[in-house]
Amino acid sequence: MKDLQPNRRTFIRSAVTTAAGLAVTAALPARTLRVPAPARIKFSVIGVNHGHIYGQTEAVIRGGGELVSFYAKEADLAAAFAKRYPQTKLARSEKEVLEDKSIHLILSAAIPDERAPLGIRVMQHGKDFMVDKPGITSLDQLAQVRKVQKETRRIYSIMYSERLENRATVKAGELVKAGAIGKVVQTIGLGPHRMNASSRPEWFFDRKRFGGILCDIGSHQFDQFLFLTGSTQAEVVASQVGNVHHPQYPAFEDFGDVTLRGNGGTGYIRVDWFTPDGLNSWGDGRLTILGTDGYIELRKNIDIAGRNGGNHLFLVDQKSTRYIDCSQESLPYGQQLVDDVLNRTETATSQEHCFLATELALKAQQQAQRLTLNKQ
């Protein structure tokens, strides 16, 4: 099944947070989904402030989850979500969802700084939690989440969608695991995004609410670095952030980069909010994986050389240079997460990996030098 066209993908993968944007996302036809698996668990949603909630919900439905209820305190956002999932009950309060003993898993794309406190309440009510990135916005929050997760033994899963819900990245992970390029030495992850400033709510421009650019959109790249290098320990060598082009939003950051060193490889990350309107995608996301016997390059959302759609993979090894269209690859995260909920396993992603990726993003954000550029 082909992915959505780039202009429509914008509404799913970018930070669509207005009622109008969520309504458009909610109206996308069911054919964009793979056939749902038979229901194996029941799940609910609390907080729909980011358009990623639709991708999260669809992943769990594909994996065998039955969406039974949701709660959103904003009437317009609740109406948009209800339109997309008319079979779902609108709960009267967060408490009603938390105390429903039939619910196994709760999803959230609330305002970023509200996600960790919600996740703690979810786990304390004996339920598993899957949250949009950034799943945690401060080191203090991380310490509290780790403590409660250890006490409750519930799942706290952050959906790093640029790996878990991108078909080319899933394929790249399989190739790396199979030894296609030897031992991985370095990953280079580039995560450009389009601003769409007029569609953004106030919290989008407040670092205290979204956590900073490295914590927010950079979190995907830390996850990919750990996963593809196989690193279980890592440190931030250097990081920098800046607001170089949006003085009208003084609490915003539009550029950041990081150098990493892990026990399985090294990494470089660059993220920004400079995608030009002339690109037919929300961002030209790229990932290069350097190995001792070759390299892989991904063009995740668009190939500016002319190939249609996204999910493009290029593999260069000792024998040849090959192109692989990954648009038909499966996305196992939803099924694996449902399996983990039922079996108390860690097949989707390990809990320590999930937390370490976030810890690195938070430390990079905290340690970042402030970048200022001379304007000519």
| Extents of the domains making up the chain | 6-160, 163-331+363-370
pLDDT at 374: 79
pLDDT on residue 372 = 87
pTM for this one?
0.89
CATH number of 163-331+363-370: 3.30.360.10
User: Is the distance from CB of 10 to CB of 282 less than 8 angstroms?
Assistant: yes
Written as tens digits, the pLDDT of the chain (376 aa) is: 333 334 333 333 333 444 334 433 333 333 344 566 779 999 999 999 999 999 999 999 999 999 999 999 999 999 999 999 999 999 999 999 999 999 999 999 999 999 999 999 999 999 999 999 999 999 999 999 999 999 999 999 999 999 999 999 999 999 999 999 999 999 999 999 999 999 999 999 999 999 999 999 999 999 999 999 999 999 999 999 999 999 999 999 999 999 999 999 999 999 999 999 999 999 999 999 999 999 999 999 999 998 999 999 999 999 999 999 999 999 999 999 999 999 999 999 999 999 999 999 999 999 999 998 877 6
CATH class of 6-160: alpha beta
What was the pLDDT predicted at 376? 61
How long, in residues, is the chain? 376
Question: Residue 196's pLDDT is what?
Answer: 93
Q: Which of 287, 282, 291 is nearest to 270 (CA)?
A: 287
- The CA-based angle 214-4-6, given to 5 degrees, is 60
For the beta sheet containing 184-192, the strands, ordered from the edge strand earlier in sequence to the opposite edge, are 321-325, 312-316, 294-299, 286-291, 184-192, 266-272, 255-262, 234-242, 369-370
Tell me, yes or no, if the two domains 6-160 and 163-331+363-370 fold the same way. Answer: no
C-alpha to C-alpha distances, 259 to 76, 239, 351, nearest whole angstrom: 41, 6, 24
pLDDT at 279: 96
